[in-house]
Each structure stands twice: as C-alpha cells, then as structure tokens.
C-alpha cells in the first residue's frame, strides 16, 4: 500500500501493511504489524519492521501532513538537542502527494506511566506506589522545564519506562521558550496545571506535597499554590467541556453515528458488544427483569454477551407527548451526557455504555440508554436496619458526606434525589437516574436546586426517626455551610 492510500483506510486498516518508503540509503519497505493510535485520515502510529529492525512508525497523511510532520520532527530534535532521553529517530521523510513518516527505535518491553498508573489508581489516595509513579513523572517534567521545553499534551502516556529509564515521547507536542534556559514561571504554572488537572480530584489536597518532586528537578522558581490551583481549575473546566463534546462526536473515545433516522453513540471499547444490544434492545427488555414498565420509561436488567446490563427505554406515550419531545434532545441523550460528566469528574455512577435515539427525518421518537449494572442495594434498603437507632455504619455515612461534598463542589443538582436513586457500590454511593441532573454555572442558580435536592433526600426517612436526625446533622444545610 502506498502511504497516500492510508488516508482512505479508515480506523482499522487490514494488517500487516507493506508501505514503500525511502531515506538517504535508498528505498525500503516498512512492514506495519500493529497499530497503537489512529486518527483516521491523518495519523497512524504503530509497531513494525524497517530494514530488519523493529521500529515505532508515525505515518502522517492528508492535507495537514506536512505541518504535523514538521512539528513532530522539530519536537524530537528539541528533546535530543537538550540531552533529554527520547527514542532515537532512525529515519524520516516527507513527500508531496504522499505524506510524511518518522521511524523511531522501538523501545522493547516499555510501559507508559499511564499504564503503570492504571495498575495502582485503585489503591488508597497517594499510597506509596501511586506516589512513586507521580514522583517519576514530575521529575521528568522538571528536567524538561529546566531545559526550556514543555509538552503541550502533557500526560502520563507520554512518558515510557523501560528497566528504570524514562523516555519522553510525542515530539509533536514539544515546544520551546528559550532552549537551554529554564522556562519562565508563568509557563511552568500553565504546564503543571495541565498535568495536575488530569489527576483524580482526590489527589488535590496533596498537590503541594507532590510539587516537591518537581522542585527536586527544577527549583528555578517559587511556585505559589494559589496561582497553580487557578491554572489547574482552568484546565479542568476546559477538559470537561472538551470531553462532553467528544461524547457526542466520532473520535478515539466514542463511536458516534448521526443521521436523519437515528443517533447512536457508543464507548469505543464497547462498540462490538453494544451494537447487537442496541439492535435487540426491545427484545432484551421483554426477556429481562423489569424494574419499571409503561409510562414515559421502561427500565430492565438484561443479560447480553455474558454480562448484566441495564437498559432504559424512553417511550413516547402518544401524539401529544411526541409533540413535546421530537424537537429537543431526548432524556436518554441527557442521561448519557450527564453520566459521562460524572464519570469524568470521578463521581460514582454506572458507566454509560451506549445511547440510541430513533428518528424519522431528524424528528426524535423512542430512545434507549445502556449502562453497567450495579448489584448493590439502594440507600433505603441499606439503611433500613438503622432507621430507629440511627447507628448506620460510619464508613457509609462518611461516603454520603463525601458524595454531597462532591456535588456541592461541582455545583451539581440531581433533580430527583429519592433513596432508590442512590446505590451502595464498592464503598461509595453511586447515583442513577440522571434525567434531571444539571451542573450549574453559578452559585445563585445552584443554591435553590441544592436545597430542593436535600429536602427530597431527607424525605426518604420519617422526620422523627433517629436516622433522619443523624443524617440531617451531617449534611450541609446550604452551599455556604459546606465550606
């Protein structure tokens, strides 16, 4: 296959691929054996063989190939010229009408710090193994900044570890202020804001402690925590906005199809499993265990592909109901978006897997939402033994405190905070039924919504009960008392 033909190869071209390329030593074939990252029609990154040696190939095609090639090559040279550890660039080239290529020495057995983090992220906050990963990352970032460079797309997957040695990769995101001289304080704050914004919110109280690992590599500037936190918050807001846009368009994370007769969105890694579920959603609901049927929604636990799922079908009750619904996003779509919002923010909820809106000439009708199944009890069932005594387990009450603190911090109102919408799962309280959920832009709009949520939540138990009194004393009365 010619390099230019990759532009039309889609997301999953057949492998292996033999692509003729040429360098100073003459023409040779790259045998591409696997793909690690694909941006269809633009970028294909994978492992292969070139002149008998294993390589990591970056193949750039399409109208932006020349620009992306130049940025990648410039970034790689910046890293190498400043003595920073990065995979060796073995060959590169750019040909009009074809595209560009960069072939790197393949780091055998390397693991990204992102992969390492996934193995330890379930541990208690800032456990030793978590601290070790972040210390390694911050040390490498400090070394870059000390040499006048920064990585625009700064995340743990852009750091590879092999036998104790750390490699900086992805030259396309590497920028320089004055190579060889330490970055200015403002650039340092901005770039560290990008890094810390991607860490779990639970690590935020330890930012200052973690910063010590950075300062050991680059102590050029005093870094005020208030200024750094402003950058972290700014990047977090941008990342959330960007993520919510991505959950509604075709991208690396989501498979999305829009048309006059339907809208379908699926988490990319779930596509093969979810397509048949959506195709037979009605039949699966008929065969499954129904929690709710008829009216505006039908909800059921179903078995599909060897796993338990929940399908929620949003019904159209009649012509008058359809007139109210066809012109605006379905409640399934709203729940999909808000579920992804909670997942992104680290607030417990069943992971949304897929959504489908049926349409006729763009006019919406029935819609379906598929999520993971939570086997745990809801809070009504979980706290039933303690209504009169009020002696609910302290860890579960603390988890409830934590959930409310998270919702207040993010200005999120649920809209229907009855106990059956709160499930105990893996030592956390998880929210379901997100049809009315809203993240408010201001405290003035959030305050009355929080008051309604709290009042509805407290109505789960008799006001005279001991449990009511215990919970009422613990939960903030309003958002000002949460501070």
- Rounded distance between C-alpha atoms, residue 345 and residue 364, angstroms: 29
Confidence grade of residue 23 (pLDDT, cut at 50, 70, 90) = confident
- For 81-90, 121-130, 191-200, 381-390, which range has the lowest pLDDT when averaged over its residues? 121-130
Mean pLDDT of 415-427: 94
Question: What pLDDT, on a 0 to 100 scale, did the predictor assign at position 261?
Answer: 75
Q: Mean of the per-residue pLDDT values for the chain?
A: 92
Instruction: For the chain, list the domains and their CATH numbers.
Output: 3-105 (3.30.200.20), 111-236 (1.10.510.10), 254-372 (3.30.200), 379-474 (1.10.510)
Which of 68, 69, 47 lies closest to 56, judged by CA?
A: 47
At residue 350, φ and ψ (nearest 5 deg) are -60, 130
Most confident segment among 23-32, 101-110, 355-364: 101-110
What per-residue confidence (pLDDT) applies to 196?
96
Which residue has better confidence, 194 or 261?
194
Would you say residue 8 has pLDDT above 90? no
Query: Quick one: average pLDDT of 267-275?
Result: 96
Q: Answer yes or no: are the C-beta atoms of 157 and 114 closer than 8 Å.
A: yes
- Name 280's Cβ contacts closer than 8 Å, sequence gap at least 6: none
Phi-psi region of 169 (alpha: psi -120 to 50; beta: other; left: phi over 0): beta
The pair phi, psi for residue 404, each rounded to 5°, is: -65, -40
Query: So what's the pLDDT on residue 10?
Result: 85
The dihedral of CA 25, 27, 33, 37: what is its sign?
positive
Structure pTM? 0.88
Instruction: Name the pLDDT band for 318 (thresholds 50, 70, 90).
Output: low
**Contact (CB, 8 A) for 145 and 218:** yes
Q: What percent of the chain has pLDDT over 70?
A: 97
Q: Which of 191, 116, 103 is nearest to 153 (CA)?
A: 191
Query: Is residue 240 pLDDT above 90, yes or no?
Result: yes
Strands 307-314 and 363-372: antiparallel
The pLDDT value given to residue 320? 67
For the cut 80, the answer to whether the pLDDT of residue 11 exceeds it is: yes
Tokens of 445: 């709009």
Give 213-228 pLDDT, tens digit per residue. Answer: 999 999 999 999 999 9
Q: For the chain, what is the HEC assignment?
A: CCHHHHHHCCCCCCCCEEEEEEECCEEEEEEEEEEEEEECCCEEEEEEEECCEEEEEEEECCCCHHHHHHHHHHHHHHHHHCCCCCCCEEEEEEECCCEEEEEEECCCCCEEHHHHHHHHCCCCCCCHHHHHHHHHHHHHHHHHHHCCEEECCCCHHHEEEECCEEEECCHHHEEECCCCCCCCHHHHHHHHHHHHHCCCHHHHHHHHHHHHHHHHHCCCCCCCHHHHHHHHHHHHHHHHHHHHHHCCCCCCCEEEEEECCEEEEEEHHHHHHHHHHHHCHHHHHHHCEEEECCCCEEEEEEEECCEEEEEEEECCCCHHHHHHHCCCCCHHHHHHHHHHHHHHHCCCCCCEEEEEEEEECCEEEEEEEEEECCCCCEHHHHHHHHCCCCCCCHHHHHHHHHHHHHHHHCCEECCCCCHHHEEEECCEEEECCCCCCEECCCHHHHHHHHHHHHHHHHCCCCCCCHHHHHHHHHCCCCCCCCC
Nearest CA to 310 among 374, 360, 384, 385?
374
Find, among 135, 134, 239, 141, the residue nearest to 188 by Cα. 141
Asked if pLDDT for residue 242 goes beyond 90, the answer is yes
Neighbours of 90 (CB within 10 A): 17
Confidence at residue 364, expressed as pLDDT on a 0 to 100 scale: 79
**Angular region, 120: left φ>0, alpha ψ -120 to 50, beta rest:** alpha
pLDDT of residue 321: 62
Q: What was the pLDDT predicted at 359?
A: 81
Contacts of 128 (CB under 8 A, 6+ apart): none
323 pLDDT more than 70: no
Neighbour tally for 352: CB within 10 Å: 26
Per-residue pLDDT, averaged over 60-74, amounts to 95
Please, is 257 exposed, middle or buried when counting C-beta atoms within 10 Å of its C-beta (0-12, 13-18, 19+)? exposed
Average pLDDT value for residue range 89-117: 94
Share of the chain above pLDDT 90, in %: 81
Is pLDDT of 325 > 70? no
Structure tokens at 123: 């541990």
Q: Looking at residue 385, what is its pLDDT? A: 96
The alpha carbon dihedral of 353, 270, 112, 125 has a sign of: positive
pLDDT exceeds 60 at position 387: yes
Model confidence at 25: pLDDT above 80: no
Mean pLDDT of 237-249: 95
Q: Which range, of 260-274, 361-375, 390-404, 458-472, averages the lowest pLDDT?
A: 361-375
Asked if pLDDT for residue 327 goes beyond 60, the answer is: no
Task: Kindly tell me if the per-residue pLDDT of 322 is higher than 60.
Answer: no
pLDDT category of residue 365 using cuts at 50, 70 and 90: confident
Is the distance from CB of 27 to CB of 11 less than 8 angstroms?
Answer: no
pLDDT tens column, 171-228: 999 999 999 999 999 999 999 999 999 999 889 999 999 999 999 999 999 999 999 9
Strand order through the sheet with 111-112: 111-112, 159-162, 165-168
For residue 301, what pLDDT is reported?
Answer: 95
């Amino acid at each position: 296959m010619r390099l230019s033909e990759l532009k039309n190869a889609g997301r999953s071209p057949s492998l292996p691929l033999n692509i003729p390329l040429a360098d100073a030593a003459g023409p040779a074939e790259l045998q591409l054996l696997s793909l690690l990252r694909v941006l269809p029609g633009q970028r294909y990154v994978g492992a292969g063989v070139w002149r008998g040696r294993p390589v990591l190939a970056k193949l750039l095609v399409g109208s932006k190939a020349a620009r992306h090639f130049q940025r990648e090559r410039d970034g790689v040279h910046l890293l190498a010229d400043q003595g920073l550890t990065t995979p060796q660039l073995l060959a590169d080239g750019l040909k009009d009408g074809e595209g560009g290529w960069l072939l790197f020495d393949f780091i055998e057995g390397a693991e990204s710090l992102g992969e390492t983090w996934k193995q330890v992220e379930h541990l208690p906050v800032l456990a030793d193994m978590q601290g070790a990963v972040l210390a390694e990352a911050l040390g490498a970032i400090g070394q870059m900044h000390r040499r006048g460079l920064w990585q625009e797309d700064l995340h743990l997957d852009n750091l590879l570890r092999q036998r104790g040695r750390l490699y900086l990769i992805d030259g396309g995101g590497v920028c320089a202020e004055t190579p060889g001289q330490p970055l200015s304080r403002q650039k340092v704050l901005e770039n560290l804001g990008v890094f810390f914004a991607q860490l779990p919110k639970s690590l935020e109280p330890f930012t200052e402690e973690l910063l010590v690992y950075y300062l050991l590599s680059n102590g050029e500037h005093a870094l005020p925590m208030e200024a750094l936190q402003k950058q972290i918050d700014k990047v977090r807001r941008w990342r959330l906005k960007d993520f919510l846009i991505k959950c509604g368009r075709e991208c690396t994370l989501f498979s999305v199809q829009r048309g006059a007769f339907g809208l379908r969105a699926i988490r990319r890694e779930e596509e093969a499993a979810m397509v048949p579920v959506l195709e037979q959603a009605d039949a699966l609901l008929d065969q499954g265990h129904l929690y709710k049927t008829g009216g505006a929604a039908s909800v059921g636990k179903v078995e599909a592909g060897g796993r338990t799922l929940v399908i929620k079908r949003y019904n159209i009750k009649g012509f008058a109901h359809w007139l109210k619904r066809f012109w605006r996003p379905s409640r399934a779509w709203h729940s999909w978006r808000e579920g992804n919002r909670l997942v992104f923010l680290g607030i417990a909820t069943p992971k949304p897997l897929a959504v489908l809106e049926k349409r006729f000439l763009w006019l919406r009708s029935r819609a379906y939402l598929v999520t993971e199944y939570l086997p745990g009890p809801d809070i009504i069932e979980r706290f039933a033994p303690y209504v009169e005594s009020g002696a609910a387990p302290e860890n579960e009450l603390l988890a409830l405190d934590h959930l409310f603190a998270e919702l207040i911090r993010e200005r999120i109102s649920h809209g229907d905070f009855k106990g059956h919408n709160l499930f105990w799962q893996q030592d956390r309280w998880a929210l379901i039924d997100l049809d009315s959920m809203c993240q408010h832009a201001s405290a003035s709009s959030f305050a009355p919504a929080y008051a309604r949520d709290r009042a509805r939540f407290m109505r789960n138990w008799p006001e005279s009960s001991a449990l009511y009194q215990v919970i009422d004393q613990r939960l903030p009365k309003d958002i000002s008392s949460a501070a």
